[in-house]
Amino acid sequence: MNLATYVTRRLALMVLVVFGVLVITFVISHVIPADPVLAILGGNAPAEKVDALRRELGLDKPLHEQFVAYIWGAVRGDLGRSLRTGRPVWDDIQQYFPATVELTFSAIFLAVILGIPLGVISATRRNQVHDHTTRVFSIVGVSMPVFWTGLVLLLLLYYRLGWLPGPGRLDLEILPPPSRTRLLILDSLLAGNWAALRNAVGHLVMPAFVLGYLATATIARVTRSSMLDALHQDYVRTARSKGLVERVVVLRHALRNALIPTVTVIGLVFGGLLEGSVLTETIFAWPGLGRYITTGYITLDYPAVMGGTLYIAVVYSIVNLVVDLTYAFLDPRIRF
């Protein structure tokens, strides 16, 4: 199979997967739940009002017609209207998602600049103190509940010591920069608003660290094992016997090849971060998509919950697709 066929196949699979995701969210939102109409109107609404709303939402139609309407709506970006904000769910998502992007990308950034060096150090000093420390650090990282680490850090660094700003994206007294990209940091840079930039970065540090810790742990573990693999390859021995400095051998020869699995895992971790962002955003009152969804649970805002879930699932599968394709491009030895 050549690359073109692989890409087409992979795209077809993704369409299938997205369709499956739609089926699952449809089943959850239309078949299982407590009656959405009663959730909107309350338990003792008059029968004619219930019927009217049911007609309005199309819930009186047979299930297969509802399904077609649902799919058709989703394809056009019509995810219904949020019961809480009263706005189309799609518009809400456009408003909230950039904050999530800012948070997850900062977390990934932290995880990469911390995780890869940690993995390399631990592989080059296998079974020494560094290696064991990294191992403990990693396993603790994947074991801590993010909502708990978030609370503890918030308690210590904000409430007690006051070193970092607290929940939210910006202090109330800071004037936000004009919203062009909806990424606060980028907007502040574009507007040259240094006070806002400093404040926004300060607000980002804690949640990004809490979220990134999990990813750092995973990246460090994978880098370690692929580095160990690479360091035992013949070309590394050749490089050493040529008399190259150890640093060059490790960084130029071994690391380059060892990074391929790391790239894959960065993609996979990204999915985990989207997930973790739901809890992190709740703790840090971060106005992102995760918080939008969790607020939806509490207010029984089903369209918001399902729209947000669908959106995250689609982004997640796009990321997976990109990872698979990157992987194929990075390593020409891979046969599809």
We find the least distance from the C-beta atom of residue 29 to other proteins, in angstroms, to be 7
Other Cβ atoms closer than 10 A to 23: 13
Does residue 279 touch other proteins according to CB under 8 A? Answer: yes
Encoding tokens for residue 293?
A: 């969804």
Select 98 or 271, whichever has its Cβ closest to other proteins.
Answer: 271
Select 136 or 245, whichever has its Cβ closest to other proteins.
Answer: 136
List binders of other proteins among 138-157 (CB under 8 A).
139-140, 142-148, 151-152, 154-155
Select 188 or 226, whichever has its Cβ closest to other proteins.
Answer: 226
We find the least distance from the C-beta atom of residue 294 to other proteins, in angstroms, to be 6
Please identify, among the stretches 61-69, 98-106, 200-208, 274-282, the one whose residues bind other proteins according to the rule CB under 8 A. Answer: 274-282
Select 17 or 101, whichever has its Cβ closest to other proteins.
Answer: 17
Select 82 or 282, whichever has its Cβ closest to other proteins.
Answer: 282
| SS3 call for 172 | coil
Does residue 317 touch other proteins according to CB under 8 A? Answer: yes
Binding mask 233-272 for other proteins (x = CB under 8 A): --------------------------------------xx
| SS3 call for 88 | strand
Select 63 or 140, whichever has its Cβ closest to other proteins.
Answer: 140
Select 174 or 274, whichever has its Cβ closest to other proteins.
Answer: 274
Distances (CA, A) of 203 to 99, 162, 247: 12, 12, 37
- Say what angle helices 89-124 and 194-231 make with each other, to 10 degrees: 50
Residues in the chain: 336
Q: Which one among 293, 303, 323, 324 touches other proteins, defined by CB under 8 A?
A: 293
Does residue 298 touch other proteins according to CB under 8 A? Answer: yes
Binding mask 96-135 for other proteins (x = CB under 8 A): ---------------------------------------x
| Contacts of 281 by beta carbon, 8 Å cutoff, 6+ apart | 99, 100, 103, 207, 287, 288, 289, 290, 291, 294
Query: In this structure, which long-range contacts are made by residues 77-81, counting pairs with CB atoms below 8 Å and at least 24 apart in sequence?
Result: 79/303, 79/306, 79/307, 79/310, 79/311, 80/303, 80/306, 80/307, 81/303
Does residue 278 touch other proteins according to CB under 8 A? Answer: yes
Query: Is the CA virtual torsion 169, 171, 172, 176 positive or negative?
Result: negative
Q: Which one among 12, 16, 251, 330 touches other proteins, defined by CB under 8 A?
A: 16
Distances (CA, A) of 197 to 69, 170, 189, 268: 44, 9, 7, 30
We find the least distance from the C-beta atom of residue 282 to other proteins, in angstroms, to be 7
Task: Map tokens 């999530």 to a residue.
Answer: 100
CA atoms within 13 A on the CB side of 52: 6
Select 2 or 143, whichever has its Cβ closest to other proteins.
Answer: 143
- What are residue 88's phi and psi, to 5 degrees? -60, 135
Positions in the binding site for other proteins (CB under 8 A): 13, 16-18, 20-21, 23-25, 28-29, 32-34, 135-136, 139-140, 142-148, 151-152, 154-155, 159, 271-272, 274-276, 278-279, 282, 293-294, 296-298, 302, 305-306, 309, 312-313, 316-317, 320
